[in-house]
Structure 1
Amino acid sequence: MTSTKDVPPRRVRTWWRRPWIGPLFLVAAAFLAFSVPPYLTLDPSLSRLEPPEGNDVYYPLLVAHVLFGAVAMVTACFQIWPAFRNTHRRGHRLTGRLYVFGGALPAGVLGLYIGWHTTAGPSVRVANLVGSALWLTVTIIGLRMARQGRYGDHRRWMSRSFALAMSIVLSRVVNVVATIVLTPQVDTTFGGSEELMRYSAVSIGVWLSPLLLLLLTDWLLERRQPGSRRTATRGVGTSVRVPSA
C-alpha cells in the first residue's frame, strides 16, 4: 500500500491551460443574454414558448423555470472549473449549494410541469419529462455522494448533471440544423405542414442533445479512470496514489 507521504502534491493548472474554460463561459453568457431578457419583461407575448390556452399558471412558472435555469447554468460553469474548485474550496461548496438548491432542483421540478404542458407535441412532451426527471435524479445522487464523502462519485454524477444543464444550449443548435435539413421535406414528408416540420425539428433537438452530452461526459469520465489506457500511459514513471483499504 502506497503511503500518501510519497505522493507529490497535485498540480493545479492555471486557467489558461484549460482552453475550454473561456469558450464555455462565453457560450453560457451568450445563451443567457439571448434567452433570459424576454422573460424579465414579464410579457407573455415575448415568450419563446407558446403557452397553452386557458392556463394562467404556465407563464409565471415558465419565467421561474428560466431564472432558476440561468442560476444553474452560471454556477455549473464554476463547479466544473478545476482551478476554481481546487483553489477556492469554500467558493466551490457555496456555488455547489446554489447550483443544487437555487438552480437545478427548482428548475427541474418546474421543468416537469412546463414539459407536461408543452404545445409542441407528444414527442417533445416525453423528451422534456424524461430530461427533467434525469436532471433531478443525477443531481440528487451527486448531492448524496458529497454528503457521504464519496467525492469521486460526487464529481462523476455532478458532471452528468452539468451535461443535462447545458443540453438546452446544444438543443437550440441542433434545432436550427434539423430545421434546415427538414425544410425541403415540408411538401413530402410533412404533407405541406410547416408546423409539423417545426415540431419534428424541436423533437430532434430535445432528444438528441442530452443524449449526446451524456455520452460525451461518460466517455471523458471513462478516459480519466485509473485503468484507462491514456491514464496508464501518463502514469508511467510517476507516483500513483492508492486509496487505503
Structure 2
Amino acid sequence: MTTTETPSSPGETRRATPWWRRPWMFPLGLLVTVFLVYSLPPYLGLDPAQSRIPATASWYYPVLVTHIGFATIAMVTCALQIWPWLRQKHPVVHRRTGRVYVFAGAIPASIAGFAIALAAPFGPVGAVSNVLLATLWFGCTVQGYRMARARRFGDHRRWMIRSFALCMSIISNRVWGVVCALVFAPQLDTTFGGSEVAMGQAIAGITTWAGWVVPLLVAQWWLERGRGRRRATSPA
C-alpha cells in the first residue's frame, strides 16, 4: 500500500510514499490515548478535591477543567489531522476535523491556558513559560487557519506542524517532570535546603520550558530540513 501526497503549493509534485515510511502514527495514537486515560479521570467528576493542581482562586478550577476539556479535543483531532491517509483519502473529513481542532480545541484551550497560567501555583518561572506557550499555540493555530483559507497550503502545513508540536508538548512536559524528579530528589537536602516547595518549583520551571521549547525546536528543525532537501533536489 502506498500513499500519494497532496501538493502543498501549485506546481509542486511529490512521489508516492510507502505506508511504512510513516511508522510514527500508531505510537503517536497510543501515546495520546495512554496520556488521556491517565490524565482525565480526576477531572471527570468535576470534584475540585480530585484535582492534581491545587486551586489558587475560586475561578481557577472551572477554568482549569475548561482548558482540559478543550485540550483533549485538540489532542485527539490534532493526531487525526497529521494522519496522511485521512488527509489524502478523505480531504473533506480532514477539513472538518481541522475546524474542530481550531475552534473547539486549540483556540479555546489556549485562551483558558493563558488564564490559568497567570494563577498557577508553580512560581513565576513556570507562569511565564505557560503564558508564552498559550500565546504561541494560539498564534500558530490562527495563522495556520488563515493560510488554509488563503489556499496557501504549504504555509498552512508549516504553521500547523508548529501548532501540533505545541499541542503535544504537554506529553513531553510530563516526561521531563519524571526525569527532573529523579535527578533532583537526591539533592533535596543540599541544593534545595530540604524545601520540597523549592524543589517542586524548580522542577516545574524546567519542565514547563523544556516541555514546549524542545518540541517546537525539533519541529522547526524538521521543517528546515525538509526545505533543504527540496532545494537540493530541485533543478538549478
Normalising by structure 1, we get a TM-score of 0.87
Query: 1:90, 1:109 → 2: CA distance?
Result: 27
The share of aligned pairs that are identical, in percent, is 47
CA contact (8 A) 1:39 1:47 kept: yes
Q: Which residue of 1 aligns with 2:64?
A: 62
Determine the C-alpha separation between the residues in 2 that align with 1:105 and 1:213.
19
User: Matches of 1:7 and 1:125 in 2, distance apart?
Assistant: 43
Runs of 4+ in structure 1 over 3 Å off: 6-10, 230-233
Q: Structure 1 residue 232: deviation in Å?
A: 6.0
CA distance in 2, matches of 1:139, 1:90: 19
Aligned to 2:28: 24
Change (3 A) 1:23 1:119: same
* 1:117 and 2:122 matched: no
Partner amino acid, structure 1, of 2:106? A
Gaps in structure 2 of 5+ consecutive residues:
1-10
Aligned residues: 226
- SS of match in other structure, 2:193: coil
Displacement of 1:48: 1.1
Tell me if structure 2 keeps the 8 A contact 1:12–1:83.
no
In 2, Cα distance between equivalents of 1:39 and 1:142 = 30
Aligned to 1:3: none
**TM-score scaled by structure 2?**
0.90
CA separation of 1:63 and 1:147: change in aligned 2, threshold 3 A: same
Residue 13 of structure 1 deviates from its aligned partner by 3.8
Specify the alignment match of 2:180 in structure 1: 178
| Change in 2 beyond 3 A, CA 1:76/1:189 | same
What's the C-alpha RMSD, in Å, of the aligned pairs?
Answer: 1.9
> Taking structure 1 as reference, are residues 87 and 191 closer, same or farther at Cα in structure 2, changes over 3 Å only?
same
**Which structure has the greater CA radius of gyration?**
1
Provide closer, same or farther for how the CA distance between residues 138 and 9 of structure 1 changes in structure 2, counting only shifts above 3 A.
closer
In 1: Cα distance, 2:33 partner to 2:63 partner = 23
Query: Match for 2:55: what amino acid?
Result: P
Q: Which runs of 5+ in 1 are unaligned?
A: 1-5
| SS, match of residue 224 in structure 1 | helix
Match of 2:193 in 1: 191
Among 214, 217, 234, the alignment partner of 1:215 is 217
Structure 1 residue 47 corresponds to structure 2 residue 75: no
Moved more, 98-107 or 176-185: 176-185
Counterpart AA for 1:155: R
2:16 is matched with 11
